[in-house]
Amino acid sequence: MPVSNAVDRETPADTDGESAGEGLPINELFYSLQGEGILAGVPSVFVRTSGCNLRCWFCDSYHTSWEPTHAWMELDAILDEIESHDADHVVLTGGEPLLHDASVSLLEALDERGYHTTVETNGTIHRDAPIDLASISPKLASSTPTPERDPRNEMPADSQNGERQSRGAANQDDGEWEDRHEANRIDMAALAALVEAFEFQLKFVVTDADDMPEILDLLADLREAADVPIRDDDVLLMPEGATRDRLAETRTRVADLAMEYGFRYTPRLHVDLWNDAPET
């Protein structure tokens, strides 16, 4: 069901993620192939919640973070929609899905129904929930928005004329999100709790070799903090880029970095297949 068709674009979601009742702010709910990570290529139903506690400049789900929009859906309606697809895998993503209390209820209901669940999280929140795979994507310093890297200043290429367009001037926050993002993007206690509680993959969005020292430092800190081993095989390097053109610039050098450091490379199959189309 193309939930996003029904989204009230005039009604922003609560960006702090507070929500009441057994329902969730849903930005998209769709059936596709998992594009990233160790389950790349697996048919899955994607439940994309709205609202995020971070603001990566390159966010590929702009309407869950910078300009959150959603349709409010009761859990029963979400489950009905999931069950209408012939899939064994459900991916709960965002935004940051673990912001929402009701995400736990949804995961419990999916567990009761026998689904394999992946939760795609930025790693800043741990919840006690039945999660089969925690796909944890800690955000590096290179994700922090700056006045020069502010996605509110541009819109994606217009499908008619291919030109990028201004989003308008309502985008000045005097660096508030730059500071909040930088202060909150890494929570070592939450990261340790997540890797201890669940099967996991650590997925880093990499732009170039300048990101590697921070990844190595973060891994060293996490290996110190967590009571479970973190193998190099658990670490995935994913090229930054939400469009085919951008991925063409980043993927080869990220693949080379994966080989150099002994980590996994993960593609972004959905971008290869469908570029930046919604509901993919």
Residues contributing to the annotated binding site for S-adenosyl-L-methionine? 58-60, 95, 137-139
Q: How many residues bind ligand SF4 (CB under 6 A)?
A: 13
Give least dist CB 28 to ligand SF4, A: 12
190 contacts ligand SF4 (rule: CB under 6 A): no
Q: Where is the binding site for substrate, in residues?
A: 33-35, 48, 93
96 contacts ligand SF4 (rule: CB under 6 A): yes
Give least dist CB 185 to ligand SF4, A: 8
Give least dist CB 107 to ligand SF4, A: 18
194 contacts ligand SF4 (rule: CB under 6 A): no
Q: Where is the binding site for Mg(2+), in residues?
A: 61
> For residue 71, what are the β-bridge partners?
26
In the set 27, 50, 65, 207, which binds ligand SF4 (CB under 6 A)? 65
User: Is the dihedral angle over the CA atoms 37, 42, 43, 44 positive or is it negative?
Assistant: negative
56 contacts ligand SF4 (rule: CB under 6 A): yes
Which residues between 101 and 160 bind ligand SF4 (CB under 6 A)?
Answer: 122, 139
Q: Of 48-56, 219-227, 231-239, 266-274, which part binds ligand SF4 (CB under 6 A)?
A: 48-56
Instruction: Give the whole-angstrom CA distance, residue 229 versus residue 226.
Output: 8
What's the gap between Cα 216 and its chain centre? 21
> What CA–CA distances, in Å, run from 13 to 54, 61, 191, 224?
14, 14, 26, 37
By the 10 Å C-beta count (0-12 exposed, 13-18 middle, 19+ buried), 124 is classed as buried
203 contacts ligand SF4 (rule: CB under 6 A): no
Q: Are 30 and 279 in contact (CB under 8 A)?
A: yes
Could you tell me the two tokens for 266? 């993960």
Give least dist CB 96 to ligand SF4, A: 6
Strands laid side by side in the 264-265 sheet? 8-12, 69-74, 23-33, 43-49, 89-93, 116-121, 133-136, 200-206, 235-239, 264-265
Residues that bind ligand SF4 (CB under 6 A): 52, 54-56, 59, 61, 64-65, 94-96, 122, 139
